[in-house]
């Protein structure tokens, strides 16, 4: 029951079918890696799971802890414990990072337990320190002028503040140097130990999987899962590339 489940999911983007019948399970507390060549539909799948209005689910269903959320709005999905870290986080000048984060966090909290600006400031400073982010980020606008690595860290900051049950991380490793990657991994492990977080990890970087040790690995190509296995599958693809698997008749 405690899982995120995709059943024969089909997704259209701008009238074109990109996801063509995907079955996938992310059990609570587990790590499921989703790997595949560029343009295979990974980001489309992640956005569709989160309920991005541009990604239209034409058939199939998304079941979260036994509840059908296929047609639910993104904010409801977030309330049910879903989180998406974008491959390309948006820059929003004029919206301060702390204001954005406080709104997001308070949105998930009950009336009477919402954080004041002062309370939230203290929490934010602590989390930023854990992530190795300079305190000056708490005075900046959301992702405005952030480097690639800084944007990814801001995404991790959101993750650690929101404490979702199921997180979809879309190439969170890209643009990070190895030290920053380790910080992100430590952050994820810390949250996971505390909250039993489940992760759908979209990545091209094998090192990330070596650090995080996925329980399951799925390979996506042209909107379909062409192979599933354990972490040894990711290792094999790291060595052989995707072409061999794609050309082997799958």
Q: Which is nearer to Mg ion, 143 or 203 (CB)?
A: 203
Q: Which is nearer to ligand ADP, 39 or 230 (CB)?
A: 39
Give the DSSP H or E segment for 29.
none
Chain centroid to Cα 142, Å, comes to: 18
Q: What is the C-alpha radius of gyration for the chain, rounded to an integer number of angstroms?
A: 18
The SS3 call for residue 248 is coil
Q: Is 172 in the site for Mg ion (CB under 5 A)?
A: no
Q: Is 20 in the site for ligand ADP (CB under 6 A)?
A: no
Stretch that binds Mg ion, among 49-57, 87-95, 105-113, 133-141 (CB under 5 A): 87-95
Q: Is 43 in the site for Mg ion (CB under 5 A)?
A: yes
Q: Which is nearer to ligand ADP, 82 or 191 (CB)?
A: 82
For residue 160, the partner it binds in ligand ADP, Mg ion, none, with Cβ less than 5 to 8 A by kind, is none
Q: Is 218 in the site for ligand ADP (CB under 6 A)?
A: no
For residue 125, the partner it binds in Mg ion, ligand ADP, none, with Cβ less than 5 to 8 A by kind, is none
Q: Is 41 in the site for ligand ADP (CB under 6 A)?
A: yes
CB of 48 within 8 A of CB of 18?
no
Q: Which residues are CB-contacts of 122 (< 8 A; sequence separation ≥ 6)?
A: none
Q: Which is nearer to ligand ADP, 48 or 156 (CB)?
A: 48
Q: Give Cα separations from 242 to 175, 200, 208, 209, 212 (angstroms).
A: 22, 19, 18, 16, 21
Stretch that binds Mg ion, among 53-61, 81-89, 138-146, 215-223 (CB under 5 A): 81-89
Q: Which is nearer to ligand ADP, 133 or 237 (CB)?
A: 237
Q: How far apart are alpha carbons 197 and 185 in whole angstroms?
A: 13
Give the DSSP H or E segment for 131.
none
The count of chain residues that interact with Mg ion, using the rule CB under 5 A, is 3
Long-range contacts of 108-117 (CB under 8 A, 24+ apart): 108/78, 108/79, 108/162
Task: By CB under 5 A, name the binding residues for Mg ion.
Answer: 42-43, 87
Task: By CB under 6 A, name the binding residues for ligand ADP.
Answer: 13-14, 18, 36, 38-44, 54
């Amino acid at each position: 029951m405690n899982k995120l489940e995709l059943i024969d999911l089909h997704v259209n983007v701008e009238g074109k079918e990109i996801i063509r019948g995907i079955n996938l399970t992310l059990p609570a507390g587990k790590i499921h890696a989703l790997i595949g060549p560029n343009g295979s539909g990974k980001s489309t799948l992640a956005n569709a799971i989160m309920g991005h209005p541009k990604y239209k689910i034409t058939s199939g269903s998304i079941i979260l802890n036994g509840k059908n959320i296929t047609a639910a709005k993104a904010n409801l999905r977030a309330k049910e414990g879903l989180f998406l870290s974008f491959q390309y986080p948006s820059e929003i000048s004029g919206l301060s990072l702390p204001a954005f984060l406080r709104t997001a966090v308070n949105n998930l909290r009950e009336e009477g337990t919402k954080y004041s600006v002062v309370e939230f400031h203290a929490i934010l400073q602590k989390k930023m320190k854990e992530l190795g982010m300079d305190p000056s980020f708490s005075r900046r606008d959301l992702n405005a002028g952030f480097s690639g690595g800084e944007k990814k860290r801001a995404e991790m900051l959101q993750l650690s503040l929101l404490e979702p049950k199921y997180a979809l991380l879309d190439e969170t490793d890209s643009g990070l140097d190895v030290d920053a990657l380790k910080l992100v991994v430590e952050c994820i492990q810390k949250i996971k130990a505390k909250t039993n977080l489940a992760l759908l990890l979209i990545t091209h970087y094998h090192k990330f999987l070596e650090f995080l040790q996925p329980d399951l690995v799925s390979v996506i190509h042209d909107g379909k899962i062409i192979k599933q296995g354990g972490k040894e599958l990711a290792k094999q693809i790291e060595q052989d590339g995707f072409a061999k698997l794609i050309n082997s008749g799958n």
